[in-house]
Structure 1
Amino acid sequence: MKRIGVDVGGTFTDLMYWDEDGTIAVHKIPSTPQDPSVATVAGVGELAERVGVSVEALDQFLHGTTVATNIVLEHNGSDVGLITTEGFRDILHIARKKRPLNYSSYQDLPWQKWQLVRRRNRRVVRERINAAGEILTPLDEDGVREQVRVLKANGVRAIAVCFLHAYRNPVHEQAVKRIVEEEYPGVFISLSSEVAPQYREYERFSTTALNAFVGPKVSGYVTNLVDTARESGVRGDVRLMTSAGGLITSRRAVEHPVSLLTSGVVAGLLGGCAIGKASGYESVITLDVGGTSADIGVAADGKLRMKHLLDTRIGDYHAMVPMAEVDTIGAGGGSIAFIDEGGMFRVGPRSAGAVPGPACYARGGTEPTSTDAMVAMGWLREDSFLSGAMRVETDLAIKAIEEHVAAKLGTSVQHAAIGIFQILAHAMTEAISLHSVRKGYDPRDFSLVAEGGAGPLYAWHIAQQLNVPRVIVPAHPGIASAMGLLSTDIRVEVPATVWTSSADPDTDRIAAEIDRLSAQVVEQVTADGLSPDDVVIERSLDCRYIGQGYELRVPAPDGPVDADWVARAAESFHQVHERTYLQRFDDKPVHFVNVRVAAVGKVGHVPLAEVEAGGPDPSGALKATTQTLFWDEGNQPAEFTTNVYDRDRLKAGNVIDGPAIVEQFDSTTIIGPGQRATVDRVGHIIIETSDNSQGGQR
């Protein structure tokens, strides 16, 4: 079995190859934002050549992409038409009546300013189905044909169909789909009963419209990627990462592109879970810092947390699809430092990206970035970037910092460079605190996994700020998301609204929906080429107490749905509610809102081989000694004598005292003053944090 994982970032495209004989190889090339598939396919060919195999020999091609997310954030999706129930034309405009700024009379509501569907393309037809799924008003098929013709004349490229209570009975939406295929062949069609078959009116409309908004471009990208890959010799299908942390086929990605939102960032969390487990630490916080953003994830006991479906937003829009608890902030290696109009010193979220990139890249960039700051501090040496394949220019970094920051603040370049680093590190620290401490987790119970090209440059300092006891720097931190792809199972999940309670449970309804959904997901994964024997069925429930407005996802019991099953399901919810909110109410009935069934196709995860053992002395990997800039207890610039080590020559058992720099192809690791790092048996660097942050030799 030969597998390759490819994660496309804003600046670099990361690749990892794995063979069942134990061969692991990594590669990293600049992304091609105008067409991400160009760098993807080129990187696959280059990595295959490096390991001495033909592209045709690859059995699996796994892919994480930010294409769908970028379309939403940049508001450049396709023109969408909406066909809905008469009287519900403006659901997408009204939304939940929430305002980003409660007390401002003059504010743009994002979902109104950047509409997913313009009002002239929101068309209504006569039909009505009630909450029980009963047809009250038959579908006016002639009216549907008339509205489809209007949308065709308006030039829409996608049509979303959202009828009231279609999640209970999809017959009218399915009839509209047939009519659209007759009247407007080739247009992208998005049905709410297929995309989000569950209650919550506005969120279902928004998700279906989002699916249509990104559909034509994402399906075009995926189709082009598959075709290009096959032309280059790839035999197997391209499987893509979903926001829920599973892989789906390219066919399913084309049909439901909304499931690819946050595709790439989830892979980093999955990779972090595998990395932590290999080093003996189950509970991890992942810090994946790339060129444009930092992704933060928290996995207690190595298990992904799923966001509440009312919190699953992309940019300004609700997307009611399962999403793992990972969040992104605009903080990365390319984040630009500047002085705003009010004289405030800021860093990000604007990024230099891959083109032109940081000033030190000598590709035309003139604004200072966090990468330039670390070059100026001596952390990134001129001939060490990408193992010397890409040279950085210290003079250009210093010039950019001096001109755009230091001169305007009336301070030194050294002060400005340290400020750039600390401002960005503080933003990451606050984001991690938001997703750990403020959600009931103690960072002292976790390990911080440093990922991405820039994660190991920041993790040493952030761990100190949060009192995280250790930092784990994997063997290939810049390729952690690609590794996550190779550590992910195939997963298809579908929901259904059951709307019953533990006080008077409709067990027949719950059982019927579980059976229906189980048959549906098994059919889908077997159609994707998996044997039923290789599929594991997972069941879960969305529950709340009667009177609550929000649900929590809890595991559903196994076995027949009877009174005992209901009691065990209610107890499962009580426990999850208590862990989440420190309260449980055993005397309150539990409301079972949705049931979910997932088919999980288990695949072989990448095993991490042990590295050669050595003693504590790391001198065999020492490559240079240099002067670097940190800061003293008064936060003043201070130079430290710093050893520089070659990551490829480190051995298990080596101990490194900070300050130190460890260089490798895909990243650079900083071990701060007063810290100590040990190389473990699988080659991960374990940095033990210390309150004495400035104990190095000066």
Structure 2
Amino acid sequence: MARIGVDVGGTNTDLVLECTKGVFYHKVPTTLKNQSIGVVDGVKEICRLAEIETAEVDLIVHGTTTATNITIEHNGAETGMLTTRGFRDILHIGRHKRPYNFSLHFTVPWQDKPLVKRRNRIAISERIMPPHGDVETVLNEDEIRDACKLFKKRGINSVVVGFMFSFLNNSHERRAKEIVLQEMPDAYVTLSSEVANVMREYERFSTAAMNCFVGPKTAFYLRDLEQRLRSAGVESKLRIIQSNGGISTVDTCATRPVRILMSGPAGGVIGGASEATMAGTANIITVDIGGTSADISTIPDGKIKIMNPRDTYVSGHPVLTPMIDLITIGAGGGSVAYIDEAGGFHVGPRSAGSEPGPACYGRGGTEPTVTDAQIVLGRLDPDHALGGSLKLDPELSFKAIEEKIAKPLNMSVTEAALGILKIINSNMALAIRSSSVARGVDPREFSIMPFGGAGPLHGVALAEAVAARDVIVPVAPGITAAVGLLKTDLQYDHTAAVITELTKANDDQIARINKASDELRTMIKAELDADGIPPADQSIEIVAECRYQGQGFELRATMPDGAVTRENITQIITSFHDQHHIDYGYSYRNAEVELITLRAIGRASVERIDIPKIADTDHSSIDRALMFVRTTTFDCGRTLETPRYNRKKLFAGDVVHGPAILIQQDSTTLVPPDYVAEMLDYGNTRICHNGRFNSVV
């Protein structure tokens, strides 16, 4: 039995393989024109590395940025929309909230870059009314057929159906879909009640529109990848990680790609949380720094948080789907340094990616990047990138920084390179504070966990900037997100709108809650059964999404075991008060609590990847791991002779005093002067100032 985790980043595609021979790690360049090519090449290469046949692979779990990139580049499908007459402009109006309240010149993405152009939003005569979903105006089917003729004339083959109050009664949406598929058999159709069966028409319509916008290309990619794997002799199951951290099938993700908009970063957070457990550390801040972006997540007490629905925006558009709580900024090894027209010195968010990549790649890139700065300062050895398989040219790095930064600012190349790193570290430190301090979390009680190909080079600088306790470097930093893919469960979720005042609920309302819960359980069980999950391995949880009456958004509360009754309904209310106090620091114990949505979450546990422990130290000299010594310039401006150690030859309990650099195939770890690195049981590393382990800096 063999399992592979594959995480596609903007620069590299990371792979981890677990089989009877052990655990193997590998990196290949991301093929930006079609990510599936790089994925398949990587799968074949890592199988050769492990000396197994591709046919021996039983499972591949994939983290993809395909849907995310479509939203960033805004190159999704031309989409048409059918909506209730009189509400055609909901997607344009949005909410009263604006990015810059006091600016006369700001722009908003939902108006400047709409998911559905106004001319393609067609009003249909129909009306469902609250509070029980009664039909006031019968659906006009002829208008739908006329709209389909218009869509075909305009070359539109992706259609979203969003009717008012369809979360109470979706019969009109379902009938509209039937008609669209009669008229346009090959159309990609999304119903708002299928992807976001909850109240709030703007967010619901936006979620459905996003699904149609990214759907055709994402579905093509997933199915193309599946076919290419089959052609390469890989007959294993292919699973995709979702934004909520659970994995799902290709068919589900192709139908509802809005669930995988944050697929890539999710694996990193799960991998980081697992690494924290191995290191015996409960509080961590993960910083996943790749070639294009940095993904930051705060994990208190080992618990991964799901983002509040009010914050789930992707490229400026609200998307009502569960997402792991994280922040993404344009900061990575490929982030480009430049001087603006006013003479300002900037780094990112634009990235050189892998094509052409940093100047040192020698692929035609002439702009200096963070990686080029690391090369110039001697922190990356150009002859040891990716284990020596990627040859870098330091002269090109020096030239790019000199011409684009140093000369225009009248400084030395070394000063310019240090400036690049200072700016990028400051950008990431601000993001860390917004994920911690701004939410009432004290970073002094947390460890920074840097990973991704570039992460461990920045770990200590970031810990200093936010006064974190220490730095924990994972076993395989450049592959941590891929490892996380093999540490998560299969997961499905469905919602039902059940708007009820819990504090005043009568028997009929309680019966409606129980009926909706049973229906949700049935839907989840059907999906788990269809995926071949034995009943004994299935787990179904119902959570209540509640709010104080009139409040803007909901928080999750725990449902009682078994059916809801007059006696145990107070458990939901108390759970909501407790969660509100945790999130906001206060609660109103006597206020009325509304149940808005029931959410069913179905899980099926999968076997976790087993990372083996490394050998304990024999107390011999760590010179056994010494590779060579080269000069390196540190943030303080000092240039020192710095030994390089093969991290794989260090044992648990070995201590490395800085300055030092730990080298491995997938990443490089920087240990500055006055810092000490201690190897832990699994090959992970703790770095502290002057060896003050387990103490607050």
Q: TM-score, normalised by structure 1?
A: 0.97
User: In structure 1, what is the equivalent of residue 311 of structure 2?
Assistant: 311
How does 1:489-528 map onto structure 2 within 5 Å? 489-505=489-505, 506-528=509-531
Equivalent residues of 2:653, 2:680 under 8 A apart: yes
CA distance in 1, matches of 2:580, 2:571: 14
Q: Which residue of 2 aligns with 1:4?
A: 4
Q: Distance in 1 between matches of 2:163 and 2:458?
A: 49
Answer with 234-243 or 483-492: which moved more: 234-243
Secondary structure of residue in 2 paired with 1:59: strand
Are the equivalent residues in 2 in contact too, given 1:206–1:318 (CA < 8 A)? yes
Matching residue within 589, 593, 596 for 1:586: 589
Equivalent position of 1:453 in the other structure: 453
**How far, CA to CA, are the matches of 2:120 and 2:284 in structure 1?**
46
In 1, the alpha carbon distance for the partners of 2:219 and 2:15 equals 22
1:550 matched to 2:553: yes
1:530-609 alignment runs, 5 A limit: 530-609=533-612
C-alpha separation in 2, matches of 1:359 and 1:621: 31
CA contact under 8 A between 1:464 and 1:689: conserved in structure 2?
A: no
Once the 2 structures are TM-superposed, how far is the Cα of residue 123 of structure 1 from its aligned partner?
0.8
Q: Cα offset for 1:691? A: 11
CA distance in 1, matches of 2:396, 2:331: 21
- Please report how far the alpha carbon of residue 106 of structure 1 lies from its aligned counterpart in structure 2 after TM superposition: 3.2
Residue pair 1:615, 1:652 contacting (<8 A) in 2 also: no
Equivalent residue for 1:52?
Answer: 51
CA contact (8 A) 2:510 2:565 kept: yes
SS of the residue 2:504 aligns to:
coil
Which residue in 2 is equivalent to 1:117? Answer: 116
* Paired residues for 1:466-481 under 5 Å: 466-481=466-481
Instruction: Map 1:93-492 to 2 at 5 A.
Output: 93-131=92-130, 132-492=132-492
Describe the SS at the equivalent of 1:259.
helix
| Separation in structure 1 between the aligned mates of residue 569 and residue 90 of structure 2, nearest angstrom | 35
How far is 1:147 from its partner? 1.5
Counterpart residue number, 1:666: 666
CA distance, structure 2, for counterparts of residue 235 and residue 302 of structure 1: 35
2:560, 2:284 → 1: CA distance? 27
Q: Are 2:607 and 1:621 aligned?
A: no
Aligned residues of 1:677 and 1:686 also touching (Cα < 8 A): yes
Code of the residue aligned with 1:46 in structure 2: it is E
CA contact (8 A) 1:297 1:326 kept: yes
Q: How does 1:629-644 map to 2 (within 5 A)?
A: 629-632=633-636, 637-644=637-644
**Structure 1, 293-302 or 502-511: larger mean CA deviation:** 502-511
Between the aligned partners of 1:93 and 1:382, the Cα distance in structure 2 is 50
Deviations 1:21-46 (A, max 9, x none): 36100110000000000000110011
Is contact 1:294-1:329 (8 Å) kept?
yes
Deviations along 1:136-167, one digit per CA (max 9) or x if unpaired, are 11211222212122212221120000011111
Maintained 8 Å contact 2:272/2:484? yes
How many angstroms apart in 2 are the aligned matches of 1:143 and 1:548?
37
1:659 touches 1:673 (CA, 8 Å); kept in 2? yes
- What secondary structure is seen at the aligned counterpart in 2 of 1:627? strand
Amino acid at match of 1:174: R
**Structure 1 stretch 260-269 or stretch 458-467: which is displaced more?**
458-467
Deviation sequence 1:475-529 (CA, Å, 0-9, x none): 2100011001000100001111211122212221211111111110111121122
Please tell me whether residue 681 in structure 1 is matched to residue 671 in structure 2.
Answer: no
Name the CA shift for 1:689/1:589 in 2 (closer, same or farther; >3 Å).
farther
Residue 322 (structure 1) shift: 0.7
Instruction: Quote the Cα distance in structure 1 between the aligned partners of 2:336 and 2:14.
Output: 23
Counterpart code for 1:627? T
The answer for the alignment partner of 1:75 in structure 2 is 74
Amino acid paired to 2:602? A
The answer for unaligned runs of 5 or more in structure 1 is 693-698
Does the 8 Å contact 2:282/2:301 carry over to 1? yes
For residue 285 of structure 2, give the secondary structure of its aligned residue in structure 1: strand
Comparing 133-142 and 350-359, the one that deviates more: 133-142
The corresponding residue for 1:61 is: 60
Offset of residue 314 of structure 1: 0.5
Q: Is the 8 A contact 1:80 1:213 kept in 2?
A: yes
1:98 Cα shift?
3.0
- Residue type matched to 1:138 in 2? V
Aligned-pair CA distance for 1:558: 2.1
Coordinate RMSD, CA, aligned: 1.4
Measure how far apart 1:565 and its partner are: 2.7
Q: How many angstroms does 1:382 deviate by?
A: 2.1
Distance in 2 (CA, whole Å) between partners of 1:43 and 1:375 is 26
How many residue pairs were aligned?
A: 687
Aligned-partner Cα distance in 1 for 2:95–2:690? 47
SS at 2:97 equivalent = coil
Equivalent position amino acid for 2:634 in 1 = F
Q: CA deviation at 1:618?
A: 1.9
User: 2:121 corresponds to which letter in structure 1?
Assistant: R
Which residue identity lines up with residue 566 of structure 2 in the other structure?
A: A
* Counterpart position of 2:695: none
**How far apart are the structure 2 equivalents of 1:121 and 1:138?**
23
Which string of whole-angstrom CA distances, capped at 9 and with x for unpartnered residues, describes residues 582-615 of structure 1?
Answer: 1121111212111111000100111221101114
Distance 1:604 1:564 in 2: 39
Q: Secondary structure at the match of 1:310?
A: helix
Confirm or deny: 8 A CA contact 1:458 1:670 kept in the other structure: yes
| SS in structure 2 of the partner of residue 61 of structure 1 | strand
Query: Using the alignment, how far apart are the partners of 1:105 and 1:644 within structure 2?
Result: 55
Q: Which residue of structure 2 lines up, in the alignment, with residue 40 of structure 1?
A: 39
For 1:595 and 1:22, how far apart are their aligned partners in 2? 45
Amino acid at match of 2:503: A
Go from structure 1 to structure 2 and tell me whether the alpha carbon gap of 1:607 and 1:282 turns closer, same or farther (over 3 Å shift): farther
Letter of the aligned partner of 1:586 in structure 2?
A: R
Distance 1:293 1:331 in 2: 5
Query: C-alpha displacement at 1:690, in angstroms?
Result: 5.5
Contact 2:151 2:157 in 1 (8 A): no
* 1:107 to partner: Cα distance: 3.4
**Cα distance in 1 for residues equivalent to 2:649 and 2:502:** 60
Q: Does the 8 A contact of 2:21 with 2:50 survive in 1?
A: no
SS in structure 1 opposite 2:272?
Answer: helix
Cα pair distance change 1:554/1:447, threshold 3 Å? farther
- The one-letter code sitting in structure 2 at the alignment partner of 1:400 is A
| Structure-2 separation of matches of 1:90 and 1:525 | 38
* Structure 1 residue 563: Cα displacement: 2.5
Distance 1:259 1:462, change over 3 A: same
C-alpha distance in 2 between matches for 1:644 and 1:557: 56
1:446 CA drift (Å):
2.0
- Match in the other structure for 1:695: none
Q: Secondary structure of 2:564's match?
A: coil
Following superposition, the deviation at residue 97 of structure 1 comes to: 3.3
1:696 alignment partner in structure 2? none
Contact 1:387–1:664 (CA<8 Å) still a contact in 2?
yes
Structure 1 residues 266 and 689: CA distance shift in structure 2, 3 A: farther
- Secondary structure in 2 matching 1:277: helix
Letter in 2 for 1:94: I
